[in-house]
Amino acid sequence: MSSTQHNLSSFSTDQQLSADIRIGIVVADWNQEITHSLLQGAQQTLLRAGLTSTQIVVKFVPGSFELPLGAQWLLENQQVHAVICLGCVIQGETPHFTFISQAVADGIMRLNIDYNLPVIFGVLTVNSLEQAKDRSGGMHGNKGDEAAYTAIRMIALQQACEK
């Protein structure tokens, strides 16, 4: 279903996380206006789910291409239960968009499998700055909210499966 017709960020944070949960967020500084808005949405959702600011580890990387390595370092060094990767790649006139988008998606997927922990793809891959703004707090909601909600649900699923 196309998100052009829906604000997908309207959901309730019905799952509360326990006090021992830590979530990492890796944010690309490239397209900072967009990515920092995504970060704000993710943090607000995690706080509404019962986390404190000390349970949220935020680190910044130069661009979206560096998100998988930043996430790996959080997984290896910060005792996190999930990592949310936030970035924004905007289509340009060259194939660069395709190479970066695919590399980031592949890297994040590999981390999910290799570490057996949720690594959430919160990377906007859009055709224009306007589309990015619409999805980072505009008419289509905030994909940072959705990425945080996905992390919450995946942690809950993992805990339920381990019982």
Catalytic positions, written as ranges: 96
CA distance 45 to 43: 5
SS3 letters across 49-87: CCCCHHHEEEEEECCHHHHHHHHHHHHHHCCCCEEEEEE
Cα angle 159, 1, 49 (rounded to 5 degrees) comes to: 30
Q: Up-side HSE of residue 149: CA atoms within 13 Å toward CB? A: 15
CB 20 within 8 A of CB 54: no
Q: Burial, 3: exposed, middle or buried (Cβ in 10 Å; 0-12, 13-18, 19+)?
A: middle
